[in-house]
Amino acid sequence: KVHAICVKTGDLANFSFRKSAENDLVQLGETHNYMPLSRKAFIEAMKTRNNESI
């Protein structure tokens, strides 16, 4: 089984975080549009994104 590694913490990455704020349902691209994150890093990234959009 292949596992992704979080780019922020180095832990096991359970989430894929979309780097761009585009609203398309699916975007193609390995590292250009998405980055693997652990749960903690994903939650922090979502908080940051939500604060920027307010």
For residues 54 and 22, the answer to whether their CB atoms sit within 8 Å is no
Average pLDDT of the segment spanning 22-40: 75
pLDDT (mean) for 29-35: 70
* Other C-beta atoms lying within 10 Å of the C-beta of residue 27: 12
pTM: 0.74
φ/ψ of residue 15, rounded to 5: -130, 150
Rounded to the nearest 10 degrees, how much is the dihedral formed by the CA atoms of 30, 19, 7, 41?
Answer: -140
